[in-house]
Structure 1
Amino acid sequence: MADIADFANDLVQERIDQALAARKALPVFESFEFCVDCDSTIPMARRLAVTSCTRCAACQQLNEQVGTRYAR
């Protein structure tokens, strides 16, 4: 007989499966030519190395630093 923990586990797994399916359905777009934050040109080497990049390396580094500051 299933208990409440089994139902919760099934619900979590269903949500994970839905999230993964939704992520796979997103269109993959090419990298931007200009940074969304500072409008500088993103170098071709970065655009080829990092698929779908939207920021230059400096802005991406700053964005990650700010993000880790709030994640703690």
Structure 2
Amino acid sequence: MADLTDIAQERIERELDAKLATMRIAQTKNSEQFCLSCGNDIPEKRRIAIPDVQLCVGCKEVEEAHKRNHR
């Protein structure tokens, strides 16, 4: 039989999982699913890590290199 501590811990874990799921949805909501430059899909992990992301890693690297070289 579960004691009150186990019950409380399970509830906390369920609430945390629900909040994290909500945050993931919110973070990816304004991000592009496909790169605006090349059209390749942007991985979900990148969309979660960088809210409002618009470019894939490769295109972002090219953009940053271009900016560095034109200063």
TM-score exceeds 0.5: yes
What TM-score results when the alignment is normalised by the length of structure 2?
Answer: 0.58
Over 3 Å off, 4+ runs: none
Looking at structure 1, the residues matched to 70 and 33 of structure 2 have their Cα atoms a distance apart, in angstroms, of 29
Q: Matched residue pairs, number?
A: 43
Looking at structure 2, the residues matched to 51 and 33 of structure 1 have their Cα atoms a distance apart, in angstroms, of 11
Mapped pair 1:65 → 2:60: no
| Unaligned runs of at least 5 residues, structure 1 | 1-28
What TM-score results when the alignment is normalised by the length of structure 1?
Answer: 0.57
| Unaligned runs of at least 5 residues, structure 2 | 1-28
Question: Once superposed, what is the RMSD of the aligned Cα atoms?
Answer: 1.1
Identity of aligned residues (%): 28
